[in-house]
Structure 1
Amino acid sequence: MSLEAFQASFLLASSADTLGFHYQKENSSAKILGDVESLGGLSTITIEPPKWKASEGTVLHIASALALSTTKTGDTLLNEFAVQYLAGMDAMDDRIPGTMLLDWTGKIRPREIYSYRIPYDNLAKDNSAAIRAMCIGLVYCKPNYLSKLIGVAIESGRITHHHPSAYLGALTAALFTSYAVRGIEPREWGARLVAVLPRALEYVVGTGHSVDENLEAWSEFEGKWKEYLKVRQIADGESKPKFPTKYGVRERINLFQKFSGSRIIGAHGYDATIIAYDAILSSESSWDEICKNAVFHGGAGNATGSLAGAWWGAIYGLSQVPKNNYEKLEYHDCLVGLGSKLYELSW
């Protein structure tokens, strides 16, 4: 674990989020890649507001980190997540937050005990819970913190999206960040996730909060992930992932659509995390490739990009990324500072 890994995880999550948000209205990967090329390629782009503005994901990822940096624990920490998410909504001008997020944050009552608990919602499956949870894996990165990571990640997601297909996305986001910063081989991550899910279910049942509804909906997320691991032939956590001889943009999108629950690929907690993970496996150490594969696919590129960017940054740091892709980001100094703060807390 290094300070640079923590800072890079924050910065590159936001860099990829910002790139994806810029192209969120374009559903053609070919057109997005063509525009990037017309600008001179990714390495020539200076990601700087107002042209390049972060989405809700960066704002709420910062909110998660602010909650964690208070060093509060238990219900007090979870209430702080709710308070910070509500505060983050004040910065949503022109960021187009989802209606589910707007609805449930509007019902949060700051500082009330259990303010983080909302009713189960069968429609709340989207990626919003996942894209703000990566930093949880930075604080609880050590193996002996796994129980805390599970509980905090799940509850951070349930604050606004009380459905397993959403909050298990938050768990995956945090878990994979912890694996990345610890240097665990990416090919192992998916199998490790599946092995952790029974503990996550045990936690959810133990809370006694909408247990029957959660049990009924539990299999969707797990089923999607098991199917993906079977496709890549890495369910054992040891084998190298298998990719088709030809795995270009069209082949990649065709695969993603099989795991998507929406016409927009990456819109839900399960396919957002699967797409980001697939990009980590296929892109290896190339920043250009991680952006091409996780951001510029014409779906929810800001979400899948922010996840992959956080994990990739925790693995590779900043040395292979053009400085103009992250030095002038919106919230740059805040992101660097939070990376430093959570690095201190992780020890």
Structure 2
Amino acid sequence: MEKFKAAMLLGSVGDALGFGNVCRENSASGSIQEELQKVGGLDHLVLSPGKWPVSDNTIMHMVTAEALTTDYWCLDDLYREMVRCYVETVEKLPERRPDPATVEGCSQLKPDNYLLAWHTPFSEKGSGFGAATKAMCIGMRYWKPERLETLVEVSIECGRMTHNHPTGFLGSLCTALFASYAVQGKPLVQWGRDMLRAVPLAEEYCKRTIRHMAEYQEHWFYFEAKWQFYLEERKISDDTENKAYFPDNYDNAEERDKIYKKWSSEGRGGRRGHDAPMIAYDALLAAGSSWAELCHRAMFHRGESGATGAIAGCLFGLLHGLDTVPRGLYQELEHRARLEELGTALHRLSTEEKSQTLAVKSDSAVWFQLLAERTVLLGEALLCMRQLFGRVCWSGLRTSAPARRGPHRPPRHTCAAPTQLWASGLFRKNFLGIRFFLFINLIDVLVKSGTLGRQRRPSSERQLMGRGSAHTYAALGSFSPLRRLQTAFKTCLLYQKH
């Protein structure tokens, strides 16, 4: 648990140091090296919120961890909670000089759309580092090897909520995998090649979701090619190679900056989703257990040192803890108490869960189980169908029924049985109607079996709003019966596609 807390703290420390380095480079107050000399070195530096604030990297990492520590029922509920947190948080980010791609991505999120809240359009500008800097907590939450598939899915969806570009959201997959490898205790030199072996799983998942694959395929190779080139440059691309090799002049800061720029496609090291984790990983390989050396390599360079510092600091905490880190760097750190709470919660949830019972997936096989649990939504859909289709079924059946004397109308809330509905021929020649007929039969079976009678209530109002059960019921109550029925029917069709 202490290393989980250290990871959250040192990720924020690395962000504050790197962000401060960038701010001082762009101002007339002098470089960070000059300030370190004034205070007597890194060991005597105190990171106070006033002089060393954290950037949007820490804020987005925190809200992602907060969503991961909620009591969600399925991954779709987790994604809705992430959307809600991101939309609420992005309004507070302008004062912290946020990544423009993060702000633009959050503006595309739809918290009021229950089904498509986290679906954002493909973005050519979404290749930045913002997705990578907020995903380490995903690897901490799903660090066990048997949870690899869940880690891949959550990191991809979390990444493309704000950075819907392969270079961007594969960066979130990379940092999440690195965090899980650190918790598992894998050798550091093995991380890069194991990460590349997991990239095909991400491609397979993206194909299953049928979203923007044409655009993805145009840019997919770039991330893999850059990382393969880096591993070959360090001579750790093969399983038989267990030691990283660095150039002779690599201890020189200016020479390192030139290499960092070479890895980037924009001339600024750490600017994109592939090279921000790459610089952090490279710094970890070179620094070993030395925190001071890590800071010089990952947090005090002339690129996006806030992003690389946040990633490197978090991974260093998972590997080595706080033992070699000066207390002044985290004693007065901004959001320190909340960061420690999140680290504790992530550790508790990741170690206590049983993968056999909590391995929930949003595919069609598990959807029927979730369908039975969503009693409020299904009950509402059934009521809407009885209200709307009672008269439709009667008018469809009346033509084939024997003539009756005198006016006769069925009760308002009665509906023909599904078999009568099929026999009437209303939906027999309509493919969409066939789907709807199966949906009616499913609900009819659930009602008769008593499944809809068992309601499961959330434990708090926050979870109630996040899961959307009673909240959705209240929202649906303000719609017309046709609108309510359309919502339930779209749910059926969406999950049938998946």
Report Cα offsets for 1:219-239 as digits up to 9, x if no partner.
Answer: 111111001001000001442
The answer for the alignment partner of 2:53 in structure 1 is 53
Matched, 1:240 2:243: yes
Instruction: Answer whether contact 1:150 1:200 (CA < 8 A) is retained.
Output: yes
Deviation at 1:99, TM superposition (A): 2.1
Report 1 or 2 for greater relative contact order, CA contacts < 8 Å, sequence distance ≥ 6.
1
Decide whether the 8 Å contact of 1:20 with 1:300 is kept in 2. yes
Report the counterpart of residue 7 of structure 2 in structure 1: 9
Residue 161 of structure 1 corresponds to which residue in structure 2? Answer: 163
Structure 1 residues 109-118 or 268-277, which shifts more? 109-118
State the distance in 1 between where 2:75 and 2:31 align. Answer: 47
> Are 1:216 and 2:218 matched, yes or no?
yes
Cα pair 2:43 2:328 within 8 Å, conserved? yes
Partner of 2:87: 86
1:83–1:111 contact (8 Å) kept in structure 2: no
Deviation, 1:27, is 4.8
> Which segment drifts farther, 77-86 or 133-142?
77-86
Cα offsets for 1:48-88 (capped at 9, x unmatched): 11111000011000010011001322211112111111122
The correspondence of residues 123-134 of structure 1 with structure 2, limited to 5 A, is: 123-134=125-136
Give me the whole-angstrom Cα distance separating, in 2, the residues matched to 1:9 and 1:214: 32
Taking structure 2 as the reference length, what is the TM-score of the superposition?
Answer: 0.67
Provide the C-alpha distance between the structure 1 equivalents of 2:25 and 2:302, rounded to a whole number of angstroms: 4
Could you say which structure has the larger radius of gyration? Answer: 2
- Find the aligned partners of 1:198 and 1:108 in 2 and give their Cα distance: 27
**Match of residue 40 from structure 1:** 40
- Contact kept? 1:13, 1:58, Cα under 8 Å: yes
What is residue 151 of structure 1 aligned with on the other side?
153
Alpha carbons 2:47, 2:330 under 8 Å: kept? yes
Q: Where do 5+ consecutive residues of structure 2 fail to align?
A: 352-498
**Alignment of 1:266 onto 2:270:** yes
4+ residue runs over 3 A deviation = 25-28
Paired position in structure 1 for 2:183: 181
Q: Distance in 1 between matches of 2:300 and 2:265?
A: 19
Distance 1:88 1:327 in 2: 25
What is the identity, as a one-letter code, of the residue corresponding to 2:71?
T
Deviation of 1:255 after TM superposition, in Å, equals: 1.3
- Ranges in structure 1 where 5+ consecutive residues have no aligned partner: none
TM-superposed deviation, 1:26: 4.6
User: Are the aligned partners of 1:139 and 1:346 in contact in 2 as well (CA < 8 Å)?
Assistant: yes
Distance 1:68 1:128 in 2: 18
Distance 1:307 1:149 in 2: 17
- CA-to-aligned-CA distance 1:68-111 (integer Å, 9 cap, x gap): 00132221111211111112223324201122222221232214
Cα deviation digits, residues 21-64 of structure 1 (max 9, x gap): 11213559x94333322331111111111111000011000010
Map of 1:312-327 to 2, 5 A cutoff? 312-327=316-331
Separation in 2, partners of 1:286, 1:162: 36
| Deviation of the 1:8 alpha carbon | 0.6
**Aligned residue runs from structure 1 range 287-298, under 5 A:** 287-298=291-302
User: Contact 1:79–1:111 (CA<8 Å) still a contact in 2?
Assistant: no
Equivalent-residue separation in structure 1 for 2:140 and 2:37 (angstroms): 34
Distance 2:42 2:95 in 1: 24
| RMSD across aligned positions (CA) | 1.4
